[in-house]
Amino acid sequence: MKLRIFNPRAASLLRGSALVLLSLGTAILLSDFPHNRATPLIVLPALVAFTGTLDTLRCIKPRWSFYHAGVLLCIYMDLMAICMILFFLLYPYTRWITSSQ
């Protein structure tokens, strides 16, 4: 018997959230957060996070229910994680923000 989380054709809320959170952790490790190293490898966790968000979007039901509300909260969490990953990706390249005069 194959588990639903390992079947990419079946919608899985757990798989989508896990992909996003693991990619956020990977982006934090790759960026060396307090020092904010510029590395283009953070594009890979960003793509994985977008894939996880799309997998979470597949779980929305057409009619409103508390499950639908929970999926919306998970989507908001995914969007915040994607914003953090994009911040880790783009911030080291913006020298004008940190330059002192």
Report yes or no on 6 lying in a domain.
no
Q: Is 79 exposed, middle or buried (0-12, 13-18, 19+ CB in 10 A)?
A: middle
Residue-range definition of the domain harbouring residue 63: 12-94
Which tens digits make up the pLDDT trace of 26-67?
Answer: 999 999 887 878 889 999 999 999 999 999 999 998 899 999
Report yes or no on 3 lying in a domain.
no
Report yes or no on 76 lying in a domain.
yes
- The counts of H helices and E strands in the chain are 4, 0
b/e code 19-40 from CB counts within 10 Å (16+ = b):
bbeebbebbeebbeeeeeeeee
Domain count, the chain: 1
Which tens digits make up the pLDDT trace of 3-12?
Answer: 777 788 888 8
Residue type, 75: I
pTM for this model (two decimals): 0.86
DSSP letter (8 states) at residue 8: T
Spatial CB neighbours of 88, under 8 Å, sequence gap ≥ 6: 27, 28, 30, 31, 33, 36, 42
Report yes or no on 36 lying in a domain.
yes
Instruction: Please give the structure tokens belonging to residue 36.
Output: 């904010």
Report yes or no on 20 lying in a domain.
yes
